[in-house]
Amino acid sequence: MSGERLAVLTGGQLAESYAKTAHGVLRYGTREVVCVIDPVHAGRPAVDVVPFCASPAPVVADVATARDLGATTVLLGVAPLGGRLTAAWRETLLAALRMGLHVEAGLHTDLGADPELAAAARAAGVGIRDLRAVPADLGVPLAEPVGAQVVHTVGSDCAIGKMSVVLELDRAARARGLGSVFVATGQTGVAISGWGMAVDHVISDFVAGAADRLVREGADRGDLLWLEGQGSIYHPAYSGVTLGLLHGSSADALVLCHRAGRTAVFDYPGTALPPLPEIVRGYEQAAGWVRPARVAAVALNTAGLDDAAARRAVDDAAAETGLVADDVVRFGAARVLDAVLAALPG
């Protein structure tokens, strides 16, 4: 929407990895962000809380302050486990609607279908945009070539930066003049790029069909597609989304995303992760059940490490796997991009 100015709501969690929609929009979004709403971090600039955030937006304590700063839309910037509306979020979003602000969110809860929220929006003459809304006519994948080269990020876990990695690689590829396109598969990616689909909200029968549709839409926009990954084949709750996306993607190459030092699934600490080379093999086996694809490089998330430790972690990952490895957010996307382009057919 033109003239739109976002206030990104994180309600105390701006520093947490659950605030990934906020982090993505602050780092990569092309839409204007007026402020972040977060009482815990209020008074500081967002860049002090969110690493690698280029936005000058301040953090304010409440919706009223955001409105006074000129915000037109409150974007819910947190994706809680399970994705449902909590009582606290409900109160804040209701307040925003009653102040005449639009609301945008990517929960599994359909806010537009909520009687109380819908009534408040109607009364104030504002809109509720559901970033997870999906087309009603999805089906199964076509058995036809896609007409573009597809690179897909896969990961050892959730919320470790699979979207940031494809955004960095897309940005670097465009800087080289390539016909590169970011293809969003989650609500944050849709919030950033303005198109795509939140595949985790699709009926499970249609996940692969949704991925197939997205890469075909992407092929109309460019010839080098960066398809955002979701979840992990090692994640007890979300592995089905991951495999459906992988099999529907027609991927020509994979980039494996990993959080340095992580040895178990974050949400399920009892579920251990295997060593990195085994994760590479796991994804190549899983892809090969339908269509072979190799892991071309490892994108390591070294957040929390100092530079020397980050370099060591990158070197270790490269030595362990025999692949190019780098932290593309911290050290730049060039080396991983080179490895991916060398791995693509043709």
Chain positions contacting a second copy, by CB under 8 A: 81-84, 108, 139-141, 143, 199-205, 207-209, 233-245, 247-248, 267-268, 270-271, 282, 285-286, 289-291
CB of 21 to a second copy, least distance (A): 15
Q: How far is the CB of 109 from a second copy (least distance, A)?
A: 10
Half-sphere exposure (Cβ direction) of 164: Cα atoms closer than 13 Å: 29
Q: Which is nearer to a second copy, 55 or 250 (CB)?
A: 250
Report the residue number, 73 or 230, with the smaller CB distance to a second copy. Answer: 230
- Residue the block writes with tokens 């057919």: 345
Beta pairing partners, 129: 104
CA distance 48 to 58: 10
Token pair, residue 155, equals 């990961």
Which of residues 86 and 271 has its CB atom nearest to a second copy in the complex? 271
**Angle (CA) 226 2 26, round 5°:** 50
Look at residues 259, 264, 263 and name the one whose alpha carbon lies nearest to residue 299: 259
Q: Which amino acid is at 13?
A: Q
137/306 with CB nearer a second copy: 137
Nearest in space to 61 (alpha carbons), one of 128, 10, 111, 102 = 10
User: Closest CB to a second copy among 82 and 147?
Assistant: 82
Q: Which residue(s) pair with 37 in the sheet?
A: 9, 60
Distance CA 308, CA 167 (A): 25
Residue 156 DSSP one-character state: S
Q: Which lies closer to a second copy via its Cβ, residue 145 or residue 346?
A: 145
What's the min distance (Å) between Cβ of 165 and a second copy? 21
The pair of three-digit structure tokens given for residue 313, joined into one six-digit string: 């972690």
Cβ neighbours around 177 below 10 Å, total: 7
Shortest Cβ distance from residue 60 to a second copy (Å)? Answer: 31
Classify the phi-psi angles of 210: left when phi > 0, otherwise alpha if psi is within -120 to 50, otherwise beta.
Answer: alpha
Q: CB of 186: closest distance to a second copy in angstroms?
A: 11
Q: Which of 194, 198, 8, 195 has the alpha carbon at shortest distance from 101?
A: 8
What's the closest the beta carbon of residue 288 comes to a second copy, in angstroms? 9
CB 264 → a second copy: shortest distance, Å?
A: 11
Q: Which is nearer to a second copy, 12 or 240 (CB)?
A: 240
CB of 139 to a second copy, least distance (A): 5
User: Which of 35, 279 has the CB closer to a second copy?
Assistant: 279
Distances from the Cα of 258 to the Cα of 152, 253, 309, angstroms: 14, 16, 15
3-state SS assignment for residue 140 = coil
Q: From CA 207, how far away is CA 200, in angstroms rounded?
A: 8
Provide the minimum distance between the beta carbon of 64 and a second copy in the complex, in angstroms, as a whole number.
33
Answer yes or no: are the C-beta atoms of 270 and 309 closer than 8 Å.
no
**Nearer residue to a second copy within complex by CB, 109 or 302:** 109
